[in-house]
Amino acid sequence: MNKKLGHDAIYDARELGTPRMLLLGLQHLFAMFGATVLVPILVSGYGLPLSIQTTLLFAGIGTLLFHVCTKMKVPAFLGSSFAFLGGFQAVANLDSGKFAAMTGEEKLPYALGGVVVAGLLYLVLALLFKLVGAKKVMRFFPPIVTGPIIILIGLNLSGTAVTNASSCWWLALVAIAIIIVANIWGKGMIKIIPILLGVVLGMTACGGKTTDGTTGSTDNTVTAEEEDHKTQNTKVDPNSPITEEMLRNHAVAPAEDFTYDVEDDGIKIRSYTGSDTVVVIPAEIEGKPVTALYNYVFGNNSPVRAVLIPESVKEIEEVFINNETVELVICEGATRTLGLTFGFCSNLQQVIFGKDLQELGGIGTFGNCSKLKELHFTQALTNIDDEMCFEGCDNLTIYGPADSYIESFAKEYGIPFVVE
């Protein structure tokens, strides 16, 4: 091969040899897999219950078909496209005519129908490429046309990127620096695998775990009460039921079970690293109040079964999203929830809010919590942003005061309500 890597276009990656093809394929997998999972999460946030499992299945099928059609020339993984998010959101927001009484599940086929039509358009474009050649078609899609479209898609999703990066700014900045350096100053193979280098070297540089983004370290000073906790046998039998009384009487988790940032106004918890499945978050660490929890603190693969959030934490956002083990959550002092706080918590059964909760903000707060049985609110709740906040919670009963906002909401949307 006489082409210069990183400078000349390569139309058949088989020219690079198997090892280099594998590296390029791995890079594309890293780049696309996160997006493939994120798209159904965002779409579900719009109120349309798009399944992550189904998305991954058809991404895999599409990838295999792509490799058959291209004769293995391109080491690519075909994931979800952010270009369709606008269409999903537009369908989710339809509220007139026949769409007025539709649930998110009933609207979803209409959005997916648009994706099918877009797929058929791809076939039309492929036929044009075959009939008139790539050069003639690409005259209508120069970089000045395609570039701004890609930029707009990126800007539209920048909020999500910032939210994800905020869980570990140190890791995010190291990774992006590596990618920029490799892409601009890299030579040969280095220049064409910047994302793979950013992922691997970024994680290596950060030691494979998050650290305190403010001070560069996490000085987890343990109080006497928390030290005593470590000597107790507080582990809960995985087969025993979790009750409110058990959670409220459980020992407070030690500071060393968390990574966190020390900020001027208090402690912001990044992640839970302990092994106890019942977690009572301390109200103070290092003499400062615990005031906030980063997104995904107990999300995804966190093994917790029950969590008590102290009164000092006033706002929670996507803290438990996609957790498959959590059963019970008590939020003592939260005044507001944002976004998919408990979205896709498939084993969640009970959530108890304290006297201060005023608003369920954002979209899909309890979306697709299929085992959720009890939600307890007080008179303070006066606003629920999303009418499909409880979409997919088919076994839910809401508990609250008589003649309250939440009682009216429950009756309007046909959710069983019990006065307490």
- pLDDT 10s digits, 207-238: 544 444 444 433 444 444 444 443 344 456 66
Which of the residue ranges 21-30, 90-99, 100-109, 153-162 would you say has the lowest mean pLDDT? 153-162
The number of angstroms, rounded, from the C-alpha of 202 to the middle of its chain's C-alpha atoms is: 20
pLDDT for 285 equals: 95
Q: Which two tokens stand for residue 233?
A: 């046998």
Sign of CA dihedral 345, 351, 354, 360: positive
Average pLDDT over residues 82-106: 84
What are the start-end ranges of the E strands in 286-396?
288-293, 306-309, 315-317, 328-331, 336-338, 350-353, 359-360, 374-376, 383-384
As a whole number, the mean pLDDT across the chain is: 83
Average pLDDT over residues 412-420: 93
Burial of 292 (0-12, 13-18, 19+ CB in 10 A): buried
d(CA 160, CA 175): 17
In the chain, where the domains are located: 13-132, 168-208, 224-419
Q: Which residues, at least 6 apart from 298, have a Cβ–Cβ distance to it below 8 Å?
A: 272, 279, 304, 307, 319, 320, 323, 326
Strands 306-309 and 315-317, by their bridges, are unpaired
Question: pLDDT digit string (tens) for 300-335?
Answer: 767 899 999 999 999 888 899 888 899 999 999 899
pLDDT for 254 equals: 94
Percent of the chain with pLDDT over 90: 31
Amino acid, res. 211: T
Q: At what angle do helices 194-205 and 169-185 cross, to 10 degrees?
A: 140
Question: pLDDT digit string (tens) for 127-169?
Answer: 988 898 888 888 888 888 888 888 887 787 777 677 667 667 7
pLDDT for 369 equals: 92
Q: Which two tokens stand for residue 302?
A: 């966190």
d(CA 225, CA 223): 5
Q: Which two tokens stand for residue 194?
A: 């910047």
CB 308 within 8 Å of CB 251: no
CB 398 within 8 Å of CB 406: yes
d(CA 413, CA 397): 12
CB 306 within 8 Å of CB 285: no
Strands 258-263 and 288-293, by their bridges, are unpaired
Question: pLDDT digit string (tens) for 4-50?
Answer: 665 566 667 787 788 888 888 888 888 887 778 888 877 877 778 78
Amino acid, res. 224: A
- In the chain, % helix, strand, coil (3-state, to 5) comes to 40, 15, 45
d(CA 200, CA 29): 13
d(CA 313, CA 315): 6
Q: Does domain 224-419 have CATH number 3.80.10.10?
A: yes
